[in-house]
């Protein structure tokens, strides 16, 4: 398949691995921020292909996983209201809140529905004008512009019964928080899709702190090439942002998407599961679009604690302090069919990824 098979080519992978082994001169701890990268790494056995001095650490880049219990609780409280339908992506239904999940609330009678896009939520509102439709919006700068476009669609189409409960997160504050955390990280494999919107300026705090950043695509060759770029930066004493994913991401990002996002949303402090309250770590609906803001309209606030279920170490997994195998519940009490913590729910959750994939390598 053109544009895909070449990014999974075993011989190319072996050549890049040989170059990494030949050029690697020091121990490196490299964090892949994005859950999409974690899937590729584990699915293709990339850690086993690298020299032992290079360690890959999974980060908090799974939007479902970092949604806090307080945000889940707020969504549940709205779903339980009379004449309200709470709609979101399917992954969100099983994420644990303080007492239950959205799926649990649904079994208790709350009106919780799955949509495939925020536009579907607007269409649901237009089809049912007497129903208050609340879209529970999660994700980083990749999805915030899509929610923003849906709000504009609602305004243009007169969907006065459409609202957004925003649990959207901003990535720059969490990158700064990771630097200050206990995990020593030497370099970052940065998220390609987020960068396609934000541009590379958001990595300035990391490169200023001496951490090379490489914006990577999501195929195994992308990630191996990104690791090689990082090794080479260290060998030259550099710390700059490189774009390996140049077929999608530009240094300036997507200006139009940012304009829409910054029109509909405003920065605010937000709780990230595992990382706590981060200054400007999230987005709320802006004053201009207040009539679509579920928090303002229904008088609730999507905040709260990020404490984990007893025994679950998702907080440490999300910060790269621990790996799924360190959790005594992994593959025992906790599985994708019966998730105890958020990291086992989403396809991009680190625990879920480690549970589903493993053992093989692209070079076999
Ligand atoms: S295996 Fe389950 S309980 Fe353990 S950290 Fe992961 S999600 Fe939490």
Closest atom of ligand 1 to 349 CA is: 7
pLDDT in tens, 175-206: 888 887 777 899 999 999 999 999 999 999 99
Q: Which of 306, 237, 240, 234 is nearest to 274 (CA)?
A: 306
The pTM of this model reads 0.92
Q: Could you tell me which CATH number the domain at 5-62+172-243 has?
A: 3.40.50.11750
Closest atom of ligand 1 to 355 CA is: 1
Distance 150 CA to ligand 1 centre (A): 34
Distance 329 CA to ligand 1 centre (A): 6
As a three-state string, the secondary structure of the chain is: CCCCHHHHCHHHHHHHHHHHHHHCCCCEEEEEEEHHHHHHHHHCCHHHHCCCCEEEEEEEECHHHHECHHHHHHHHHHHCCCCEEEEECHHHHHCCCCCCCHHHHHHCCCCEEECCCHHHHHHHHHHCCCCEEEEEEEECCCCHHHHHHHHHHHHHHCCCCEEEEEEEECHHHHHHHHHHCCCCCCEEEEEHHHHHHHCHHHHHHHHHCCCCEEEECCCHHHHHHHHHHHHHHHHHCCCCEEECCCCCCCCCCCHHHHHHHHHHEEEEEEEECCCEEEEEEEEEECHHHHHHEHHHHHCCCCCCCCCCCCCCCHHHHHCCCCCHHHCCCECCCEECCECCCHHHCCCCCHHHHHHHCCCCCCCC
- What is the structure's pLDDT at 182? 73
- Annotated domain spans of the chain: 5-62+172-243, 65-170+253-298, 314-355
Among 69, 307, 312, the mutation site with the greatest number of ligand 1 atoms within 8 A of its Cβ is 312
Distance 325 CA to ligand 1 centre (A): 9
- What is the structure's pLDDT at 133? 98
Q: Is the pLDDT of residue 359 over 50?
A: no
Pocket of ligand 1 (CB under 6 A): 312-314, 317, 324, 327, 329-330, 334, 340-341, 343-344, 351
- What is the structure's pLDDT at 1? 52
Distance 352 CA to ligand 1 centre (A): 9
Q: Is the pLDDT of residue 33 over 70?
A: yes
Q: Do domains 5-62+172-243 and 65-170+253-298 have the same CATH topology?
A: yes
pLDDT in tens, 65-102: 999 999 999 999 999 999 999 999 999 999 989 899 99
pLDDT in tens, 127-157: 999 999 999 999 999 999 999 999 999 999 9
Superfamily designation of domain 65-170+253-298: HypD, alpha/beta domain 2 (3.40.50.11740)
Nearest CA, atom 6, ligand 1: 351
Distance 103 CA to ligand 1 centre (A): 19
């Amino acid at each position: 398949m053109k544009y895909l098979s070449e990014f999974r080519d075993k011989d190319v992978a072996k050549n890049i691995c040989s170059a990494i082994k030949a050029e690697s001169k020091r121990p490196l701890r490299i964090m892949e921020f994005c859950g999409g990268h974690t899937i590729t790494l584990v699915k293709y056995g990339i850690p086993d292909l690298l020299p032992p001095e290079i360690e890959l650490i999974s980060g908090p880049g799974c939007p479902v996983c970092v949604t806090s219990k307080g945000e889940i609780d707020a969504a549940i409280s709205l779903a339980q209201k009379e004449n309200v339908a709470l709609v979101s992506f399917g992954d969100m239904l099983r994420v644990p809140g303080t007492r239950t999940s959205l799926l649990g609330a649904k079994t208790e009678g709350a009106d919780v529905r799955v949509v495939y896009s925020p536009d579907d939520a607007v269409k649901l509102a237009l089809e049912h004008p007497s129903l208050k439709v609340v879209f529970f919006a999660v994700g980083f700068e990749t999805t915030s512009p899509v929610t923003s476009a849906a709000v504009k669609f609602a305004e243009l189409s007169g969907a006065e019964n459409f609202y957004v409960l925003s649990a959207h997160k901003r990535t720059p504050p969490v990158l700064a928080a990771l630097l200050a955390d206990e995990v020593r990280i030497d370099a970052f494999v940065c998220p390609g899709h987020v960068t396609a919107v934000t541009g590379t300026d958001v990595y300035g705090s990391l490169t200023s702190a001496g951490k090379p950043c490489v914006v990577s695509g999501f195929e195994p060759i992308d990630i191996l090439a990104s690791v090689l770029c990082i090794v080479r930066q260290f060998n030259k004493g550099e710390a700059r942002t490189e774009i390996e994913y140049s077929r999608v991401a530009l240094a300036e990002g997507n200006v139009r998407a940012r304009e829409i996002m910054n029109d509909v949303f405003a920065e605010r402090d937000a709780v990230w599961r595992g990382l706590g309250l981060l200054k400007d770590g999230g987005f709320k609906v802006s004053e201009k679009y207040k009539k679509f803001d579920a928090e303002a309209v229904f008088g609730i606030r999507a905040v709260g604690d990020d404490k984990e279920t007893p025994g679950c170490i998702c907080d440490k997994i999300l910060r790269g302090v621990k790996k799924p195998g360190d959790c005594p519940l992994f593959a025992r009490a906790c599985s994708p069919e019966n998730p105890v913590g958020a990291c086992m729910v989403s396809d991009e959750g680190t625990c879920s990824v480690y549970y589903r994939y493993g053992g093989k390598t692209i070079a076999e």
